[in-house]
Structure 1
Amino acid sequence: MKFYIKHESRGRIRIHLAQKRMSSVQAETLLYYLQNQNQVSFAKVYDRTGDAVICYEGERAAVIRMIQLFHYEEVELPTGLLESSGRALNNEYQEKLISKVIYHFGRKWLLPAPIRAIYTTVVSVKYIWKGIQTLAQGKIEVPVLDATAIGVSMLRGDYGTAGSVMFLLGVGELLEEWTHKKSVGDLARSMSLNVGKVWLKKDGQEILVPSEKIVAGDEIVVHMGNLIPFDGEVSNGEGMVNQASLTGESVPVRRTLGSVVYAGTVLEEGELTILVKQTGGSSRYEKITAMIEESEKLKSGLESKAEHLADRLVPYSLGGTALTYLLTRNATKALSILMVDFSCALKLAMPISVLSAIREANQHKITVKGGKFLEAVAEADTIVFDKTGTLTKAQPTVAEVVSFSETKSTDELLRIAACLEEHFPHSMAKAVVDAAKEKHLDHEEMHSKVEYIVAHGISTTINGKKAIIGSYHFVFEDENSIIPEGMEEKFRHLPEEYSHLYLALEGVLAAVICIEDPLRPEAAEIIRQLKKAGLKKIVMMTGDSERTAKAIAKKVGVDEYYAEVLPEDKANFVEKEKAEGRKVIMIGDGINDSPALSAADVGIAISEGAEIAREIADITVAADDLAEILVLRMLSNRLMKRIHKNYRFIVTFNAGLILLGVGGILQPTTSALLHNTSTLYIGLKSMGNLLDEPV
């Protein structure tokens, strides 16, 4: 690729591509290429100017060479990337906004007054008709007020005021629509399907393959707790599928032979073999977008109150206009009230504030599924953390395999454990699979159907012999496994600093896999900062032993901790806290956290956790750093402050305009201009990043 350097500094370069015009597709292709280069830490592509900004690490010459090697046609984009890109949307609305401003002032300055009057009359029909339709439905709401203000101005021959009111209303509608669509698009993109590998059924075997290799007509196997990656039809098995992300149904639906299943839904129970019908990623994106557009989840309580208040104020504005005219017989003073209403600003600023906050959260790798959840985060006083993969690192590792078998080596025991664990999404299971991979221990399918018992373990048969792996409670209490004779002392002296997974074959303990699950380095500081941010009660809950839980709780500084808990225990605790009048946040990453995530006022899932946890959760945060929880709390608090601040400004400013108008100090035209300009100002200000504002 040919380009020249416009500007550069250490670790940063701005280039201009040697081509006449850059399309949105080309811009997305270049951006994807740059973002997937190891030496590039940040990249942004400007399609209008044909520029790209690249922040890099390492040698400058290597970056220059990397750009030179780029060719549009050689980059293979992931399915659905272009379809769900927001670039074209932004370009479309920028052009609409610029065109609207140019046409308005162009008409005002270039067209003769009679033609302007005819044009204004024609355009006003839309607003007046909408007001009449609202009245016909027995409602006195904002369209009635807009229609009255425009209609009275037209009757008085004040076409300039009517035109200005319609222009500012149009700009407000355009900005609101743009922000709404962009925020919904950002949210839908972050929720879009992202499945790396799937189980392909071939010649009676299950083979783990990249999802890109699946084509229509293939059969895939989906295990309990996993996301269904493609649209298809059940060809074998039976299960309960959570379709909340697409249909809003809170109760899982039963799916059997011949049933249709959809990409992005989650298998809560059972196991399904699915005949793939469609592999395109855009269908998933479109379904999510439609779901968000129709969902009331996007409305926070304050947002809904603002909308209702805006509509409730309309009769008072109309009544005040009539009363002022009756008392003063001055149409100008009466019209001053009509030109100023609280409704426009309230209805514009509140949704824009909420949707902009959702967009800003997305920039910090936080996916928020609705404004009401940000409001709940701000109001929460209790937060419950799951331990594994949340307070501890999302990538635990196998520290040691302690063998209790006289016939099998530790490598063979690890191979068996990995073969079982690779079917289920949990950080501990991933640690076992990764340990086997590091040792190059191939573990082809050698077992029968795998059964997963939530929060306990896994059960199957290998060569006709029963094999189980899981917690102490599951292996020794539920399954009544025994310790081999003469090895009791060895068992008692297992390393205490690790979490333990127990593997039993034919009811006899074969191995204990010691998992090192180190505490996140930032955990203690984040807990301290969360307390400072107003959270009064911080709790840790884990299925781990009392000994491990106590040590972790002491290190991080939580107020309470609970060990050896089951999924229902976590959910019951959340319900108990809510019954006592507390607002509860639950943070987890596993299948066993799902009931509690669902029960909490706000469920927050770690992005690398189980798909069902992410699907049920109201908010998803990246697994990199717990600081994102603190960012979320700060963002939510500032959103509430912005909404209250906007509300006070709107009421005070518009009340002042009404008083000045009734007092004869301001003319209706000036009142309308100031009112609509303030509405536009508050709308634009509400689009700004919350975390960039001074506290």
Structure 2
Amino acid sequence: MKFRIKHECRGRIRVEIVQPRMTLEQADCLEAWLQALPDVSRAIVHERTRCAIIEYEGDRQALLESLKGFSYQTQASGELSPVHSSRALNRTYEEKLVGKAVFKAVRSLFFPASLRAAYAVVKAIPYLFRAVRCLLRGHLRVEVLDGISIGLSILRRDFDTAGSVMFLLSLGELLEEWTHKKSVDDLARSMSLNIDRVWLKTEDGEVLVPLHQIQTGDRVAIRMGGMVPLDGLLVEGEVMVNQASLTGESSPVPKRPGSSVYAGTVVEEGECVLQVTQQSGQGRYDKIVAMIEQSEQLKAAAENRASHLADRLVPYTLAGSGLVYLLTRNTTRALSVLMVDFSCALKLSMPLAVLSAMGEASRFHVTVKGGKYLEAVAQADTIIFDKTGTLTHASPMVAQVISFSGRDEGEMLRLAACLEEHFPHSMANAVVQAARDRGLAHEEMHSQVEYLVAHGISSTVDGQRVIIGSAHFVFEDESCVIPPEERNVFDSLPGEFSHLYLAVGGVLAAVICISDPLRAEAADAVAALRKLGVSKIVMLTGDSERTAAAIAAQVGADEYRSEVLPEDKAHFVQAEREQGRTVVMIGDGINDSPALSAANVGVAISDGAAIAREIADITIAADDLFELVKLRALSAALMGRIHSNYRFVIGFNGSLIVLGALGVLAPATSAMLHNLSTLGVSLRNMTNLLPSKT
């Protein structure tokens, strides 16, 4: 690719792509490719100017060499292009907005009065029709006020006032529609799949392959806790599937051979094989969009209050206008009051504020599934953390492998990785990565793998039962034994690590020591949450009392619970809620999903188990716990903005009504100020709540 460097400073460069024009698809492709580069922290491509702004942390020359080698035609870059992009949506509404403003200016400057009047009458018909329809249905809503004010202006032959009112109303509707669609689009894409590889069933067994290689008709294996990567037909196994992200239903649904399963749903129980019927993610995206747009239950209570208040105020506005006419017999004063209503600003500004906040959250790598969850986060007084993968580092490492009975350490690690690679969890990923780092190939050599939530994994290798998991699972549930001659080795296991126990044939074969260091920012993030009004911080973990106490002290938690099972976490959350607390639960594993469901708001770590992300109301990236601080600050700022909207709308429009009734403001002026204030509030609600570097 040819390009020119237009401007650069340390860590940032702007280049102009040398080509006649850039299509929307090419801009999306280039932007996705740039963002996938390891040293690029942020990239934006502007298709109109054919410029790319790149923020990077690595070597400048290496970046430029990579950019030189880019091609739109390469398969790799094509695979990176998003299935859905907001670029085309933004272009459409930008053109509509500019076109509407230009046409308004042309009408005002060049149309004769008679033509402006005819245009106003024609454009008024839909508004009058909507007003009549509301009245026939017995509803007094903002459409009635709009229709009456526009109709009276036309009857008074004040066509310019009628035209201005309709222009401002249509402008507000366009901005609301644009923001709503953009926010829904951003939310749907952020909820899209993040699956790189899947288990393909072949004649020789299961093979781990990249997702893009899967073709229609291929068979894919999915185990408990795994996300369904593609739409398909169940051909083997019986499972319980969580479909909340598509249907909104909270209870898992049974699926048997012959049933359809959909991309993005999660297998809660059992394991299965599906036959792929649809390759792309378009079906899932469209279903998510439909679910978001139809789901009234995800609205914030503040939105619903604003909508109901707006409708309740319409009769008072009509009564006020009638009263002014009866007292003054002045049509102009009555019309000045009628031109002003509270409904328009309240109904328009509140949804825009919430949707804009959800979009802003996505820029902080936070995905929010509904406005009511932001409101709940703002009101939360209790935050409960799972320890592993949440307060501790998201990528634990294998620190040591201690083998028993003379077994080879490398062989034991290879065997452990063979079982663990089927189940995505931070500790399982650590085992698989350790085997990969040591060059230990762990090809499939076991029979069916069974996963027991919060306990461990079992399988059969060379006719012997092999299990890996917690001490409770291995020694109590499975009654495995420790080689008597090595009891002293077992008793002296290093206490600073978490332990995974591997047993073969009922005898302990190895202990894998996992280093799970505390996140560097954990204590500071907890302190920042306290400053933002969170009064109680709790840590829950399945680890031992000693480990739990040490971690809780380091992060500054008020309480902690050790050696807890998934149901214990859920019971603790429920008990807190029964005491009247608003609870946020943060976790990343399959064993956290009951607690995530029980909380007022469930927050999942994005690289945790698929079922945790599915059940959670909010998902944050795994990079930095300060995303929680930003989420809390954003939620609080949203509620502050909503309350300020109430104060401004009621105060400003109340003043306009008084001035109109006194004859100080003409109807056209009242209409202009009212609609401009509504537009101003709406535009303000589309701005960021937090500084970009907060």
Matching of residues 89-100 of structure 1 within 5 Å: 89-100=89-100
Q: Is 1:654 the counterpart of 2:653 in the alignment? A: yes
Number of the residue aligned with 2:548: 549
d(CA) in 1 for partners of 2:493, 2:7 = 60
Aligned to 2:183: 183
Q: Which runs of 5+ in 1 are unaligned?
A: none
What SS is found at the alignment partner of 2:533? Answer: coil
| Inter-partner Cα distance in structure 2 for 1:60 and 1:460 | 50
Aligned to 1:462: 461
The alignment partner of 1:587 has SS state of strand
Equivalent residue, structure 2, for 1:399: 399
Cα offset, 1:553, TM superposition: 0.8
Q: Counterpart in 2 of 1:228?
A: 228
Aligned-residue offset at 1:203: 1.1
Deviation at 1:66, TM superposition (A): 3.1
Amino acid at match of 2:227: L
Distance 2:692 2:158 in 1: 41
- Counterpart position of 1:127: 127
Work out the CA distance in 1 between the residues paired with 2:488 and 2:68.
65
The CA distance in 2 between the partners of 1:496 and 1:588, in whole Å, is 24
The yes-or-no answer on 1:430 pairing with 2:411 is no
Q: Distance in 2 between matches of 1:274 and 1:426?
A: 23
* Residues in 2 aligned to 1:65 and 1:440: alpha-carbon distance in whole angstroms: 31
Matches within 5 A, 1:611-626: 611-626=610-625
Whole-angstrom distance in 2 between the partners of 1:185 and 1:60 = 34
C-alpha separation in 2, matches of 1:137 and 1:111: 38
Q: Which residue of 2 aligns with 1:172?
A: 172
Q: Is the 8 A contact 2:386 2:586 kept in 1?
A: yes
Alignment partners' CA distance in 1, 2:566 and 2:693: 41
Partner of 2:23: 23
Flag the 1:45–1:175 CA change in 2: closer, same or farther, 3 A.
Answer: same
Question: Could you tell me which residue of structure 2 aligns to residue 355 of structure 1?
Answer: 355
Q: Which moved more, 1:674-683 or 1:5-14?
A: 5-14
Q: Within the alignment, does 1:109 sit opposite 2:109 as a pair? A: yes
Cα gap change, 1:475 to 1:61, in 2 (>3 Å): closer
Cα offset for 1:59? Answer: 4.4
Contact 1:377–1:602 (Cα < 8 Å) also in 2: yes
Distance of 1:486 and 1:74 partners within structure 2: 61
Quote the Cα distance in structure 2 between the aligned partners of 1:468 and 1:682: 61
Residue range with higher mean Cα deviation, 530-539 or 282-291: 282-291
Per the TM alignment, residue 54 of structure 1 is displaced from its structure 2 partner at its CA by 2.1
Superposition map of 1:433-444 within 5 A: 433-444=432-443
Residue correspondence of structure 1 range 461-480 to structure 2 within 5 A? 461-480=460-479
Say whether the 8 Å CA contact 2:33–2:80 is kept in structure 1. no
Task: Tell me the residue number matched to 2:192.
Answer: 192
Identify unmatched segments of 5+ residues in structure 2: none
Q: Distance in 2 between matches of 1:141 and 1:461?
A: 68
Q: Matches of 2:643 and 2:516 in 1, distance apart?
A: 43
CA distance in 2, matches of 1:287, 1:80: 22
What is the identity, as a one-letter code, of the residue corresponding to 1:130?
R
Question: Which letter does structure 2 place at the counterpart of 1:259?
Answer: S
The percent of aligned pairs where both chains have the same amino acid is 60
> Are the counterparts in 1 of residues 193 and 229 from structure 2 also a CA contact under 8 Å?
yes
Q: Which amino acid aligns with 1:135?
A: L
C-alpha distance in 2 between matches for 1:352 and 1:455: 42
- SS of equivalent to 1:487: helix
Residue by residue over 1:625-650, the C-alpha shift from the partner in whole angstroms, topping out at 9 and shown as x without a partner, is 10100000000000000000111011
Matched with 1:563 is: 562
Aligned AA for 1:639? L
Counterpart of 1:47 in structure 2 is 47
Listed as ranges, the matches of 1:447-458 within 5 Å are: 447-458=446-457
Structure-2 change in CA distance of 1:501 and 1:64 (3 Å): closer
Letter in 2 for 1:40: V
Instruction: Name 2:218's counterpart in structure 1.
Output: 218
Tell me by how many angstroms 1:286 deviates: 1.5
The residue aligned with 2:679 is: 680
Which segment drifts farther, 168-177 or 152-161? Answer: 152-161
1:42 deviates by 2.4
Query: If the length of structure 1 is used for normalisation, what is the TM-score?
Result: 0.98
2:137 is matched by which residue type in structure 1? Q
- Equivalent position of 2:147 in the other structure: 147
Contact 2:32–2:82 (Cα < 8 Å) also in 1? no
| 35-44 or 599-608: bigger deviation | 35-44
Residue 485 of structure 1 aligns with which residue?
484
* Whole-Å separation in 2 of the counterparts to 1:639 and 1:80: 34
Most deviating of 436-445 and 268-277: 436-445
Is the 8 Å Cα contact of residues 79 and 282 (structure 1) preserved in structure 2?
Answer: no
Alignment partner, residue 610 of structure 1: 609
Q: Which one-letter code corresponds to 2:262 in the other structure?
A: Y
Secondary structure of the residue that 2:22 maps to in structure 1?
A: coil
Deviates more, 1:80-89 or 1:529-538: 80-89
Is the Cα contact below 8 Å between 2:373 and 2:617 reproduced in 1?
yes
Shift in CA distance, 201/643, structure 1 to aligned 2, threshold 3 Å: same
8 Å CA contact retained: 2:384, 2:538: yes
The answer to whether the 8 Å contact 1:79/1:281 transfers is no
* CA RMSD between the two structures: 1.5
Cα distance between partner residues in 2 of 1:59 and 1:259? 52
Q: For the residues of structure 2 that align with 1:421 and 1:63, how far apart are their CA atoms?
A: 37
**Structure 1 residues 362-402: Cα deviation after superposition (integer angstroms, max 9, x where no partner):** 00100000110000000000010000000000000111111
Moved more, 88-97 or 281-290: 281-290
C-alpha separation between the residues in 2 aligned to 1:60 and 1:228?
A: 40
Q: Secondary structure of 1:503's match?
A: strand
Report the secondary structure of 2:519's partner residue.
Answer: coil
TM-score (norm 2): 0.98
Contact 2:201/2:220 (<8 A) preserved? yes
Q: Is the 8 A contact 1:498 1:514 kept in 2?
A: yes
1:25 and 1:82 in contact (8 A); partners too: no
Q: CA deviation at 1:131?
A: 1.1
Show CA shifts across 1:580-627 (max 9, x none).
Answer: 100000000000000110110000000010000000000000000101
In the alignment, is the contact (CA less than 8 A) between 1:404 and 1:509 conserved in 2?
yes
Provide the rounded CA distance (Å) in 2 between the counterparts of 1:442 and 1:122: 75
1:15 CA displacement: 2.2
**3-state SS in 1 of match to 2:485:** coil
Structure 1 stretch displaced more, 295-304 or 418-427: 295-304
Matched with 2:291 is 291
CA contact (8 A) 1:454 1:591 kept: yes
Q: Deviations over 1:289-321 (max 9, x none)?
A: 111111124410001100110111001101111
**The residue matched to 1:320 in structure 2 has which SS?**
helix
AA aligned opposite 1:269: E
What amino acid does structure 2 have at the position aligned with 1:583?
T
Counterpart amino acid of residue 208 in structure 1: L
Q: CA deviation at 1:79?
A: 5.4
Distance (Å, rounded) in 2 between the aligned partners of 1:277 and 1:694: 44
Shift of 1:78: 5.5
**Offset, 1:693:** 9.4
In structure 2, distance between residues paired with 1:419 and 1:635? 43
**Whole-Å separation in 1 of the counterparts to 2:439 and 2:448:** 24
Q: CA deviation at 1:11?
A: 3.1
Specify the SS of the correspondent of 1:273: strand
1:157 alignment partner AA: R
Distance change >3 Å, CA 59–CA 479, structure 1 → 2:
closer
